[in-house]
Amino acid sequence: MASDAAAAPAAPAPAPAKPAPPKLRGSYNCGRCGLPKKGHVCSVPGPASTAAPASGAGDKAGEPQPPPQQTKPRRALQFDDPAASPPAASAVVLDTVPPEVAAPPPPRPRPLTPAAGKKKARAEVVDVDAEEEDGGDDDGPPLPWVEVGEGRRAPGEVLVGVLQRLPPRAVAAAAGVSRGWRECSRRLWGGAEEVRLRASGVRPVAALMARCPALAKLVLTMDSDVDATLLACIAFSCPNLQSLAISMVNSAANRITGDELSRFVSEKRSLLVFTLDGCSSLGFLNVNSSSLSTLWLSGLCPLTKAVVNCPNLNELSLNFAIQNNDSTDLVALMDSLGRTCPNLRNMHISSIRLCNEAVFALESANLRGLCMLSFLQGSKITDAAVASIVRSYASLELLDLSGSGITDNGLGMISNAFPNTLTFLLLARCPNITSFGVQVAAAQLPLLRVMDCGQSICATPQPEAGRYYFGDLTGGIKFCSKLPVQRKQQTTCQNLIIKHNTLKKLSLWGCSAIDALYVNCPELVDLNLNLCTNLHPERLLIQCPKLKDVHVKGCRDMLIGAIRNQVLNEFAAIEPRLPCKRLADGSKRVHVPHFMIEQLEEQEKWGRPRKSQCTVHLNW
User: Considering only CA atoms, which of 422, 454, 592 is closest in space to residue 528?
Assistant: 454
Neighbour-count burial for 497-535, b at 16+ CB within 10 Å, e otherwise: ebebeebbbbbbbbbbbbbbbebebeebbebbbbbbebb
User: Is 57 part of any domain?
Assistant: no
CA neighbours within 13 Å on the CB side: how many for 136?
10
CA–CA distance from 543 to each of 48, 238, 425, 526 (Å)? 104, 54, 22, 13
User: Is 414 part of any domain?
Assistant: no
- Residue 548 is classified by DSSP as -
User: Is 45 part of any domain?
Assistant: no
- The tens digit of pLDDT for each residue in 115-170 reads 444 333 222 222 223 333 333 344 567 777 887 777 788 888 888 888 888 887 78
- Residue 226 is classified by DSSP as B
User: Is 107 part of any domain?
Assistant: no
Do 187 and 311 have their domain in common? no
Whether the CB-CB separation of 218 and 244 falls below 8 Å is answered with yes
Do 201 and 341 have their domain in common? yes
Distance from the first to the final alpha carbon of the chain: 128
Residue where a domain terminates, one of 191, 219, 243: 191
pLDDT for the residue numbered 598: 58
Taking each helix axis from N to C terminus, what angle separates 89-96 and 117-135, rounded to the nearest 10 degrees? 60
Q: What is d(CA 382, CA 360) in angstroms, rounded to the nearest whole number?
A: 12
Q: Residue 93's CB: how many other CB atoms inside 10 A? A: 17
Whether the CB-CB separation of 350 and 376 falls below 8 Å is answered with yes
pLDDT of residue 76 exceeding 70, the answer is: no
Number of domains in the chain: 3
pLDDT of residue 112 exceeding 70, the answer is: no
Mean pLDDT for all residues in the chain: 76
Q: What is d(CA 501, CA 481) in angstroms, rounded to the nearest whole number?
A: 52
Question: β-strand 615-617 against 589-591: which pairing, if any?
Answer: unpaired
Proportion of the chain above pLDDT 70, given as a percent: 68
- The parent domain of residue 216 ranges over 193-353
Whether the CB-CB separation of 260 and 233 falls below 8 Å is answered with no
User: Is 541 part of any domain?
Assistant: yes
Residue where a domain terminates, one of 191, 212, 247: 191
What is the pTM assigned to this prediction?
0.66
Q: What are the beta bridge partners of residue 288? A: 309
Lowest mean pLDDT among 68-77, 114-123, 509-518, 597-606: 114-123
Whether the CB-CB separation of 154 and 146 falls below 8 Å is answered with yes
Proportion of the chain above pLDDT 90, given as a percent: 42
Do 240 and 323 have their domain in common? yes
Q: How far from chain centre, in Å, is Cα 335? A: 36
Do 215 and 330 have their domain in common? yes
Residue 574 — pLDDT band, cuts 50, 70, 90? very low
Do 198 and 340 have their domain in common? yes
Do 263 and 172 have their domain in common? no
Do 176 and 266 have their domain in common? no
Do 272 and 331 have their domain in common? yes
Do 230 and 163 have their domain in common? no
Residue where a domain terminates, one of 321, 353, 385: 353
pLDDT of residue 472 exceeding 70, the answer is: no
User: Considering only CA atoms, which of 500, 559, 558 is closest in space to residue 529?
Assistant: 559
pLDDT for the residue numbered 143: 78
CA–CA distance from 341 to each of 56, 171, 259, 349 (Å)? 93, 42, 20, 15
Do 278 and 325 have their domain in common? yes
User: Is 250 part of any domain?
Assistant: yes
Residue 572's contacts (CB-CB under 8 Å, 6 or more residues apart) are none
Whether the CB-CB separation of 332 and 305 falls below 8 Å is answered with no
**Residue 291 class from Cβ within 10 Å (0-12 exposed, 13-18 middle, 19+ buried)?**
middle
User: Is 220 part of any domain?
Assistant: yes
- The tens digit of pLDDT for each residue in 177-198 reads 888 888 888 888 888 888 888 8
Q: How far from chain centre, in Å, is Cα 56? A: 78
What's the Rg (C-alpha) of the chain? 42
Q: How far from chain centre, in Å, is Cα 476? A: 72
CA neighbours within 13 Å on the CB side: how many for 207?
10
pLDDT for the residue numbered 123: 24
- Return the sign of the alpha-carbon dihedral for residues 487, 490, 491, 493: negative
Q: What is d(CA 30, CA 44) in angstroms, rounded to the nearest whole number?
A: 10
> DSSP readout, 485-529?
PPP-PPPS-EEEEEE-SS--EEE-TT-TTEEEEEEE-TT--EEE-
pLDDT: which is higher, 11 or 370: 370
Do 335 and 299 have their domain in common? yes
pLDDT: which is higher, 596 or 380: 380
Residue 597 — pLDDT band, cuts 50, 70, 90? low
Do 248 and 272 have their domain in common? yes
Q: What is d(CA 68, CA 605) in angstroms, rounded to the nearest whole number?
A: 86
Q: Residue 326's CB: how many other CB atoms inside 10 A? A: 16
- The tens digit of pLDDT for each residue in 428-468 reads 999 999 999 999 999 999 999 999 999 999 876 544 444 44
User: Considering only CA atoms, which of 521, 513, 511, 512 is closest in space to residue 541?
Assistant: 521
CA–CA distance from 463 to each of 11, 431, 453 (Å)? 138, 11, 20
User: Considering only CA atoms, which of 348, 250, 340 is closest in space to residue 296?
Assistant: 348
Residue 27's contacts (CB-CB under 8 Å, 6 or more residues apart) are 37
Q: What is d(CA 103, CA 119) in angstroms, rounded to the nearest whole number?
A: 10
Q: What are residue 246's phi and psi, to 5 degrees? A: -125, 120
pLDDT for the residue numbered 16: 55
What CATH number should be reported for the domain holding residue 250? 3.80.10
User: Is 597 part of any domain?
Assistant: yes
